[in-house]
Structure 1
């Protein structure tokens, strides 16, 4: 909903949207743990899990900063200088905004791809996870489409039991 007026933040839609993203990240931490178990552990699944967690932490920091900047700013124009000040702090931009957040998507793709290689989920689940990861890079307006694709991609996971891990594929060990 935020952005329908031509600008993003601050305001109710900005804050609520970011709070929902934070709640989703908490759920994804649990999901990543289950995916790792379903994938049978191992190097690839553990690396995907670790990458996903690192990315989730970076995104949580980003969303928290976004919420605080929104609360401190009277309008969208006032947000820019505040974000610039935060990003001017050494290492903040790559750790919170550009590099480390991408690990969330890398981890998710790696975990679902591992399940697809082990034939626990169809190949298209991994393909949809990859597509939904790329969509926000094209435009933030595509986030709802990405969410729908992710929901569709995760449907086959509903039938999997964590206690039945996939056999390790020698190529991915």
Structure 2
């Protein structure tokens, strides 16, 4: 896999793991927020989602397409992943800067981040269909994000699960050629 894919597939989950650890450190006094651990952890989470967006863009470049519907699916998946990543970034930004209101209704705060997972699942699924990725990889990544949805305190464990799901991308030396526009 190209370097941006390998790097983002490794660094993004590791930054999420760091964020999860910082959440525990920040919460040791019984209160989360308004402290150095909170700020450092949220900054790491923000950078993680920038890298997840980089990962999505680069996966989009290497997903092989033969038929028009595959190209459309690939493009829609990228759009969903980027909108979802932007939602994660916005929520994290408003957590860091509490004076900035989210401006999003609760349904959007829940629904938009799900687009990231659907987009990534689709892009990874297309790589599975092309036999460039094992079938367990996207399923493991989605399971990790589902753990976070169940309980944010599971974030350190979920990050390791996501890392394991993306590990074939992080360790693959075989490099498919980017196809199409």
Please state whether the residue corresponding to 2:112 is helix, strand or coil: coil
Structure 1, gaps ≥5 residues long: 73-81, 166-173
Cα RMSD of the aligned pairs, angstroms, is 2.1
User: Do the aligned partners of 1:34 and 1:162 also contact (CA within 8 Å) in 2?
Assistant: no
Report the TM-score, using the length of structure 2 for normalisation.
0.73
User: Do the aligned partners of 2:141 and 2:164 also contact (CA within 8 Å) in 1?
Assistant: no
Q: CA deviation at 1:65?
A: 0.5
Q: CA deviation at 1:14?
A: 1.2
Cα separation, partners in 2 of 1:163 and 1:135, compared to 1, 3 Å: same
Q: CA deviation at 1:162?
A: 4.4
Q: Which structure is richer in relative contact order (CA contacts within 8 A, separation 6 or more)?
A: 2
Q: CA deviation at 1:94?
A: 3.6
Determine whether 1:118 maps to 2:130: yes
Partner of 1:54: 83
Report the TM-score, using the length of structure 1 for normalisation.
0.76
Partner of 1:9: 33
Which protein shows a greater Rg? 1
Q: CA deviation at 1:92?
A: 4.1
Instruction: Kindly provide the CA deviation profile for residues 55-104 of structure 1, in whole angstroms up to 9, marking residues without a partner as x.
Output: 111111111110011xx6xxxxxxxxx9xxx36x5x44344x22112211
- Give the 4+ runs in structure 1 shifted more than 4 A: none
